[in-house]
């Protein structure tokens, strides 16, 4: 088993320092809603290793900042893909990476990993809004995926003194479970990080001459890696899992399937050397089991599941309730030697709770041409089988080619290349449940001074492979020159993550259709002030769709807190605010929109999300960012919010909502739409325009 582990690890074990920023969906870089150019907390949810100035604020639902009210934060909303490959919901993932990428690059090796994690969406009432130790409140705080309203990091100090002190472990872990903070953001759970703190590091990894010290538990744990040798914590992320892909352990977020059904990390795309695609697919968790060392067995686990989080009458009861069911070992041999069970885990996109028989599960499988559905055990020591939905195989292809020391466009066909991007399909959830998700993008580059795929721990501390700051007698006269080499950075991973977004179930009217998402990227400021983000633009700003088979969901989000603390706030309208709209124009090289009464494109457009809206109603909503939801009352637009009766719109859109759900558009005729944003299209430095071609 140990040899197998070492082999898998090398996919990312040779990755080098660089910065990556996700532009669409908007990457947070650990930002929340800061009114400063730099983020306040680089370790809030995850370890990005990026410059503090990067990242986008969470979206605001209204024309004023959300503040401490999570219901006023706007989560982007995408419709799920359908059950067949022809019913994809397309999302353009776009990013910039500093040190270059692409196959056959002359200066480095590179790959990009894109993943997502989802859970059942719940309702506003499920959002953790109170403290307390009763089970209901605790479960919400420790499992509910959220951006949070505070820039603080969830708390977790080292809960152990020595390896044998199990009782101290249990009492301290319970303390962090019970006292988790409702205002702090949450991606991974406290249980996931505690597994990481308890599990031994993979001793087969190449760590060069970096010294990974023992934790105070008595051994090196998986919180320590070559690029994180101090074991620093960022949210509840596991550093070893972050730095290596494919990971050799299951990435399930808890030892129990909670009511929110939080998925493991689902592998969406791997972009790199295409010769490695077979290897990546065979070792992705999506369709391939992973094993973990478990103590106590299924019966003990079920007993623990049924117990309350309420305080017991003695410390022994506390210990029995929260004593860990996961162990130190990472191989079957060492696991069984310590009395544990080597348990197989399946990855799942969801579990169909309403499907209670094998025949019903087979019927669900026959309808789903996208996922893999089976009547199986989630883990090999479970007593019962359930209907498990597993995600498609990871998409594998070449990474976009980009030059080093450049956060701009990547190479590509056509006269106008874009930043690095890949179009992906949103997941399909056969339950029809709404989900809340987060997207994760990891960017990895490595030196070619050694073979990163085939160098393991046997080469540690071997100066003939690589060493820190070596001195070379280049001139041959004994006068040495020092090379700027840091072995912690000749193999490294950087990442960015989106804010939480929602995946909505499809409407019946969307059956058989492909949905294209038309969004806005960028934030307030000029090119210097927004860097390493971008100025405003539509994405994709050029889109070709088919009249009978394609739909377009127009949607955007923005913040009301981009003041940047006097570091620059160039742009139109109220300082610190993002605003967008969409107006028809006659051609892309002009700067004036048409009046809606003269804009004939909308006569061939229908809304699937507001079926009573006319083309003119749709145009009014898009022109005002939903300030007027339509020209007149419709099914989704009350008369009080229509153009006929609502208050006056500010000419710079200052009183319009920062975010707009928009419409899912259906087209009844072939036509061309050239469009612009009236507020931000400054011509000289922000050309916020786009084109949509509808073809027969």
Q: What confidence tens digit (pLDDT) does each residue in 158-187 have?
A: 555 454 545 445 666 777 788 889 999 999
- Angle between helix axes 166-178 and 190-198 (nearest 10 degrees) is 160
- Say if residue 533's pLDDT is above 60: yes
Inter-CA distances, 131 with 90, 124, 175, 179, 680, Å:
39, 16, 13, 8, 43
Residue 7: predicted pLDDT = 36
pLDDT band at 387 (very low <50, low <70, confident <90, very high): very high
Residues in CB range of 198: below 8 A, 6 or more apart: 217, 221, 324, 326, 327, 328
Whether the Cβ atoms of residue 206 and residue 453 lie closer than 8 Å to each other: no
pLDDT of residue 688: 93
Asked if residue 76 has pLDDT above 80, the reply is yes
The stretch 34-38 carries a mean pLDDT of: 90
What value does the mean pLDDT of the chain take?
Answer: 87
Cα 236 to Cα 253: distance, rounded to the nearest angstrom:
10
Any alpha helices (H) in 199-296, and if so which ranges? 239-243, 277-283
Residue 565 contacts residue 39 (beta carbons within 8 Å): no
**Average pLDDT over every residue of 356-369:** 97
Q: Averaging pLDDT over each range in 100-104, 171-175, 361-365, which range is the top one?
A: 361-365
Q: What's the pLDDT score for residue 105?
A: 75
- Torsion angle defined by CA atoms of residues 262, 267, 269 and 271, in that order, rounded to the nearest 10 degrees: 130
* Reported confidence tier of residue 205, pLDDT bands at 50, 70, 90: confident
* The pLDDT of residue 310: 40
Question: Quick check: bond before 161 cis, omega within 30?
Answer: no
Q: What is the mean pLDDT of residues 512-532?
A: 93
What is the band of 472 on the pLDDT scale with cuts at 50, 70, 90?
confident
The model's pLDDT over 496-509, given as tens digits with 9 standing for 90+, comes to: 999 999 999 999 99
Six-digit token pair at 278?
Answer: 């077979």
pLDDT of residue 48: 94
DSSP 671: E
Residue 30 exposure: Cα atoms within 13 Å on the Cβ side = 26
Residue 309 is predicted with a pLDDT of 38
Query: What average pLDDT does the segment 292-299 reach?
Result: 72
The more confidently predicted of residues 87 and 297 is 87
Question: According to the model, what pLDDT value does residue 323 have?
Answer: 56
Contact between residue 388 and residue 257 where contact means Cβ atoms under 8 Å apart:
no
Calpha distance 68→330 (Å, rounded): 42
DSSP letters for 502-521: EEEPPPGGGTT-EEEEEEEE
Residue 15: predicted pLDDT: 38
Q: How far apart are the first and last CA of the chain?
A: 56
C-alpha 565: how far from its chain's center?
28
Which residue in 428, 618, 440, 425 sits closest to 504, CA to CA? 428
pLDDT of residue 367: 96
Q: How confident is the model at residue 9 (pLDDT cuts 50, 70, 90)?
A: very low
333 phi and psi, to 5 degrees? Answer: -60, -50
For residue 691, the tally of other CB atoms under 10 A from its CB is 17
Radius of gyration of the chain (CA): 26
- Give the pLDDT confidence of 260-289 residue by residue, as tens digits: 999 999 999 999 999 999 999 999 999 999
- Burial of 502 from C-beta contacts in 10 A (0-12 / 13-18 / 19+): middle
Counting residues of the chain whose pLDDT is more than 70, the rounded percentage is 89
126 pLDDT exceeds 50? yes
Give the SS3 label for residue 87: helix
Distance separating alpha carbons of residues 193 and 43, to the nearest angstrom: 14
**pLDDT tens per residue, range 128-155:** 988 888 888 888 999 999 999 999 999 9
CATH code 1.10.3210 for 513-695: no
Residue 4: its pLDDT value, please? Answer: 37
User: Would you state the pLDDT for residue 565?
Assistant: 67
What is the rounded distance in angstroms from the CA atom of residue 169 to the CA atom of residue 158?
A: 9
Tell me the per-residue pLDDT of 301-316, one tens digit each, with 9 for 90 and over: 444 444 433 433 333 3
How does strand 59-60 pair with strand 73-74? antiparallel
Tell me, what's the pLDDT at 445?
Answer: 82
Taking a C-beta distance cutoff of 8 angstroms, is the pair 34, 66 a contact? Answer: no
Residue 329 has pLDDT above 70, yes or no: yes
Residue 560 · residue 64 · CB < 8 Å: yes
Q: Which residues belong to CATH 2.60.40 in the chain? A: 513-695
pLDDT of 56 higher than 90: yes
pLDDT at 415 over 60: no
> Average pLDDT in the 558-578 region?
85
What does the pLDDT average to over 101-123?
86
Place of tokens 């320092």: 17
Closest CA to 101 of 421, 394, 328: 421
Please determine, for residue 99, whether its predicted confidence score (pLDDT) is greater than 90.
no
The confidence score (pLDDT) of residue 503 equals 97
Tell me what the mean pLDDT of segment 328-349 comes to: 94
Determine the average pLDDT of the residues in 467-493.
83
Q: What is the pLDDT of residues 433-467, one digit of tens each?
A: 999 999 999 998 888 788 878 887 787 887 878 88
The whole-number pLDDT of residue 319 equals: 37
Cβ neighbours, 10 Å, residue 566: 9
Least confident window among 334-338, 427-431, 465-469: 465-469
Look up tokens 């995850």; give the residue: 46
Top pLDDT among 300 and 280 is at 280
Asked whether the predicted pLDDT for residue 687 surpasses 90, the reply is no
């Amino acid at each position: 088993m140990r040899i197998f582990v070492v082999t898998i690890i090398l996919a990312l074990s040779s990755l080098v320092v660089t910065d990556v920023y996700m532009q669409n969906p908007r990457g947070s870089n650990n930002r929340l809603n800061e009114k400063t150019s730099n983020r306040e907390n680089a370790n809030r949810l995850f370890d990005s290793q990026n410059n503090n100035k990067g990242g986008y604020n969470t979206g605001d639902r209204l024309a004023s900042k959300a503040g401490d009210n999570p219901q006023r934060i706007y989560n982007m909303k995408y419709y799920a893909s359908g059950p067949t490959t022809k019913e994809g919901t397309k999302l353009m993932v776009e990013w910039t990476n500093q040190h270059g990428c692409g196959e056959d690059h002359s200066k480095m090796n590179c790959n990009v990993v894109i993943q997502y994690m989802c859970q059942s969406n719940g309702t506003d009432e499920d959002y953790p809004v109170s403290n307390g130790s009763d089970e209901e409140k605790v479960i919400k705080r420790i499992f509910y995926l959220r951006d949070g309203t505070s820039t603080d990091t969830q708390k977790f100090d080292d809960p152990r003194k020595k390896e044998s002190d199990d009782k101290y472990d249990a009492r301290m872990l319970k303390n962090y479970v019970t006292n988790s903070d409702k205002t702090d953001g949450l991606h991974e759970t406290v249980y996931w990080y505690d597994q990481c703190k308890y599990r031994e590091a993979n001793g087969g990894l190449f760590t060069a001459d970096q010294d990974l010290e023992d934790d105070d538990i008595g051994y090196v744990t998986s919180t320590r890696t070559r690029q994180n040798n101090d074991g620093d914590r960022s949210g509840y992320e596991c550093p070893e899992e972050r730095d290596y892909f494919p990971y050799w352990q299951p990435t399930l977020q808890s030892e129990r399937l909670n009511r929110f059904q939080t998925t493991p990390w689902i592998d969406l795309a791997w972009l790199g050397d295409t010769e490695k695609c077979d290897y990546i697919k065979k070792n992705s968790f999506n369709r391939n089991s992973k094993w973990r060392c478990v103590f106590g067995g299924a019966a003990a686990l079920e007993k623990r599941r049924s117990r309350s989080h309420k305080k017991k009458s003695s410390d022994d009861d506390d210990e029995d309730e929260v004593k860990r069911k996961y162990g130190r070992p990472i191989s079957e041999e060492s696991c069984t030697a310590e009395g544990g069970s080597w348990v197989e885990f399946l990855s799942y996109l969801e579990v169909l709770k309403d499907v209670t028989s094998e025949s019903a599960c087979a019927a669900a499988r026959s309808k789903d041409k996208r996922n893999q559905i089976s009547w199986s055990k989630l883990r090999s020591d479970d007593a019962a089988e359930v209907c498990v939905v597993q995600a498609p195989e990871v998409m594998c292809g070449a990474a976009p080619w980009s030059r080093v020391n450049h956060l701009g466009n990547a190479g590509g066909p056509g006269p106008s290349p874009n930043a690095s991007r890949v179009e992906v399909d949103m997941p399909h959830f056969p339950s029809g449940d709404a989900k809340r998700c987060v997207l994760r993008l990891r960017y990895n580059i490595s030196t070619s001074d050694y073979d990163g795929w085939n160098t393991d721990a046997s080469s540690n501390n071997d100066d003939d492979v690589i060493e820190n700051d070596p001195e070379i007698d280049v001139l041959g006269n004994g006068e040495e020159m020092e090379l700027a080499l840091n072995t912690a950075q000749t193999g490294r991973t950087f990442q960015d993550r989106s804010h939480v977004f929602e995946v909505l179930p499809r409407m019946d009217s969307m059956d058989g259709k492909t949905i294209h998402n038309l969004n806005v990227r960028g934030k307030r400021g000029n090119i210097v002030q927004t860097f390493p983000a971008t100025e405003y633009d539509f994405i994709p700003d050029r889109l070709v769709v088919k009249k009978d088979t394609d739909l377009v969901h127009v949607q955007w989000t923005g913040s009301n807190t981009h003041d940047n603390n006097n570091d620059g706030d160039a742009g139109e309208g109220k300082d610190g605010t993002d605003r967008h709209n969409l107006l028809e124009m006659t051609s892309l090289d002009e700067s004036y929109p048409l009046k809606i009464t003269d804009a004939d494109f909308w006569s061939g457009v229908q809304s699937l999300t507001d079926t009573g809206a006319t083309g003119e109603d749709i145009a009014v909503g898009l022109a005002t960012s939903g300030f007027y939801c339509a020209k007149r009352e419709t099914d989704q637009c009350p008369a009080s919010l229509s153009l006929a009766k609502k208050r006056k719109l500010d000419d710079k859109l200052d009183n319009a909502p920062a975010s707009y759900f928009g419409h899912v558009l259906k087209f009844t005729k072939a036509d061309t739409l050239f469009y612009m944003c009236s507020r931000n299209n400054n011509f000289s430095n922000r050309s916020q325009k786009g084109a949509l071609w509808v073809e027969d």
